[in-house]
Structure 1
Amino acid sequence: MLKYLKFSLFHCLSVPFLLGIILGGHWMVSGLLALTLVIVFGDLLFGDDNSEPDYQHPRVLNVLLYSALPALCLVFFAMMWSLSQHDLFGFGHFIQYVSGYDALAARQTNLFWHYGAMCLAAALLIALLGTVPAHELTHRTGDPVAMLTGRWLLAFSWDTAFAIEHVYGHHRYVATAKDPASAPRGRNVYQHICCSTLGGNISAWRIEAQRLSKKQQPALSTHNRIIRGIAMSLMLSAVALWLAGWQGLLAFSVSALLAKALLEIVNYVEHYGLYRLPNQPVRPYHSWNSNKRISSWASFNLTRHSHHHARATVPFYQLKAVPDAPQLPTGYLGCILLALLPPLWFRLMEPKLARWEQHYGAMRSQ
């Protein structure tokens, strides 16, 4: 049963965030601390998970995937309740009724910096509960329920275009100059966030425009999935404004933009400095891999990125560890923190890129 339950870790990591908001005050940093400490130090302490179990009941894993949407909605509501001038839907009174704790009084002790920590934690949770499951679901292009759920998850980070660009653009052009998400050697992460965000959205629009052109439908219409996706994010922003005023809208907008930036940082660490010729098949060595136990469990095996790019249609629970693929220095959140310090990141990655060039550079024409 553990092989199924391990993928519920991302749900568990939302609990300290929710408890911190209920307890208020300095407890508001609980979500941020729990996320960073558990994932970063968990990867360091518990090592790699190279297991490849056989899952006889994939429906259990699908329940975990789809339950990400209500979980993310709960995180969103908790944010709005903490910022609202009212007791939304009587939540505070309900907490006091069942526990005896005066959550409304505790909320009054919140300071500005508490909300800053809340937004950072919310951004991590939007990425963890939203972008990661959406990545898996939007690869299931023949399943309309999966696609709709995935797009709503992406709407929380204002990034429904990802469902188009990632599947039809990134996977086609990965590790080439045509792929906005693949960072060339020497580019720092801050440059990449801007370049990949702009280039990815332009690419998504072109892909969608070409699709609509083949169907003889106008690009500027409700047939356009990008326009519909923007409407979904606008709807969430309107709900935030309605529930918690301009403070709620600001907090949601900041968290959403940070979550989008996190996605681009993950793209950065997954593909930094690796390259292939456009006519060369995508191989496991064209992506950085990580088999760190906690990162893998918390991200539906997204860290097994080398196999994912070699076989994009394989569901997350069938991805192979590929221990001989190029390996990142640590798990994903640890690499995100390292990438935010470009001199340190370059110092760690240059020897790895030199070894990659030595082992795989000669294969680039094959």
Structure 2
Amino acid sequence: MMLLHYLKFFLFHGIGLQALASLVAGGYWISLGLLAVLVIYIAGDALCGDDTTTPEFRHPAILTVQLWMALPLLCLIVFASVWSFSSKDVAGFGALITELTGYDAISARDATPFLHHISGVVLTGLMIGIIGTITGHELTHRTWDPVSMLIGRWLLAFSFDTIFSIEHVYGHHRYVSTTEDPATAPRGRNVYHHVVASTVKGNASAWNIERRRLRRKGHSALSWRNAVIRGHLMSALLVATAFAMGGVGAMVYFVACALWGKALLEIVNYMEHYGMVRHPETPVQPRHSWNTNKRISSWTMFNLTRHSHHHAQGEVPYQDLKPFPDSPMMISGYLTTIVVAMIPPLWHKLMTPKVLEWDEKYASSAERVLASHANATSGIPALMKHANQ
């Protein structure tokens, strides 16, 4: 039984390999691969219930190496995706697939309609988010481990978001659920506004954090020591690689995948903290984040779902996070909630009662004052009715 608890965290490799096979097969297989991922997460979370187990892992190194394996997997997926849009058989990749399997991958690629390439962008962006950003998030919290930090930043480079390793760890975790946090969406904001606002303010915050760090050490912000600059150069190298694989078209294709991957991160930030308030002098507690324990999301996203414990104790490795079933709960699992968040009327209809319940059940007296002001300025009639109550 204990073996299952190790193996469940390897499921994301299976999802990644399925996406890889779909991209290589080309044509309608790309869209079917995207559909399969959506079904696995949305239907899986709906049917498989919650995972509230808290096993003790005696060999955590296995789970760390498993995280490191995300980088070669993501590199292969993104390479195959850009190759699928290129007119060249880069590195003889298609010929190798044909030789090994007998499947004419080059002909299938060349016959792929543009509509399925759009599916390829969506599928690749999802993989950048699931395999890249989520794993990078876990690894860059391990600030004491240079190997994990390096691999994590490269994973984040695929979504142009290496600044996440700075802003998230040193900014977001400090200011979460306050007005100082770019990633915490105020009540009434729609997700599309949040993606832009959080991206711009998050980059500015990361630059300021890094500038202050370098100033304390007596260095200029405009130098190779600046992790923000180095991180953007890492992403630029990936863009240049895509250009080398297939010219401007392949480069634009990769940029679209990367930006969609980045947008996914901000959508996740939106749904993890939407409407939360916290007095700045109050320590971060499990009640200051939306949580979920849906089984498929938990197993394939390294317990990112146990977000309440993560924010209460950010240094705890993912396998040791507790489910906190009494914490404020999201609408459902992660991909389901992402879909709902992208439909603002549906999001506000479902989340407004949850936000009001949070005010009543979880907020301190000082936070109820902040919540009342947030309700008054939300622009949501059902929330505004509860202002000053």
TM-score class normalised by the smaller sequence? over 0.9
Map 1:107-118 → 2, pairs under 5 A: 107-118=109-120
Return the match for 1:273 from 259, 272, 275.
275
SS at match of 1:164: helix
Which range is displaced more, 131-140 or 74-83? 74-83
The one-letter code of the counterpart of 1:64 is Q
Which residue does 1:163 correspond to in 2?
Answer: 165
Which residue does 2:190 correspond to in 1?
Answer: 188
Return the match for 1:338 from 325, 337, 340.
340
TM-score w.r.t. the length of structure 2 is 0.92
**Is the 1:3–1:53 Cα contact (8 Å) retained in structure 2?**
yes
Residue 43 of structure 2 corresponds to residue 41 of structure 1: yes
Which residue does 1:24 correspond to in 2?
Answer: 26
List alignment gaps of at least 5 residues for structure 1.
none
Residue 236 of structure 2 corresponds to residue 221 of structure 1: no
Residue 257 of structure 2 corresponds to residue 255 of structure 1: yes
Give CA-to-partner distance per residue, 1:241-284, whole Å, 9 cap, x none: 00121121011100111111100000000000111100001110
The separation in 1 between residues aligned to 2:230 and 2:342, in whole angstroms, is: 33
**Is the 1:16–1:30 Cα contact (8 Å) retained in structure 2?**
no
Which residue does 1:145 correspond to in 2?
Answer: 147
Residue 157 of structure 2 corresponds to residue 178 of structure 1: no
**Is the 1:28–1:114 Cα contact (8 Å) retained in structure 2?**
yes
Return the match for 2:12 from 10, 17, 20.
10
**Is the 2:277–2:367 Cα contact (8 Å) retained in structure 1?**
no
List alignment gaps of at least 5 residues for structure 2.
369-389
Which range is displaced more, 331-340 or 85-94? 85-94
The separation in 1 between residues aligned to 2:329 and 2:55, in whole angstroms, is: 21
Which residue does 1:60 correspond to in 2?
Answer: 62
TM-score w.r.t. the length of structure 1 is 0.98
The separation in 1 between residues aligned to 2:311 and 2:7, in whole angstroms, is: 25
The one-letter code of the counterpart of 1:284 is P
What value does the CA root-mean-square deviation take over the aligned residues? 1.2
Give CA-to-partner distance per residue, 1:68-124, whole Å, 9 cap, x none: 000000011101221222222222222222221111111121111111100000000
Which residue does 1:321 correspond to in 2?
Answer: 323
**Is the 1:151–1:229 Cα contact (8 Å) retained in structure 2?**
yes
Which segments of structure 1 move beyond 6 Å, counting only runs of 4 or more? none
Return the match for 1:73 from 75, 82, 92.
75
Give CA-to-partner distance per residue, 1:129-161, whole Å, 9 cap, x none: 100011011001111111111110000000000
The one-letter code of the counterpart of 1:108 is D
SS at match of 1:321: coil
Residue 359 of structure 2 corresponds to residue 357 of structure 1: yes
Which residue does 1:207 correspond to in 2?
Answer: 209
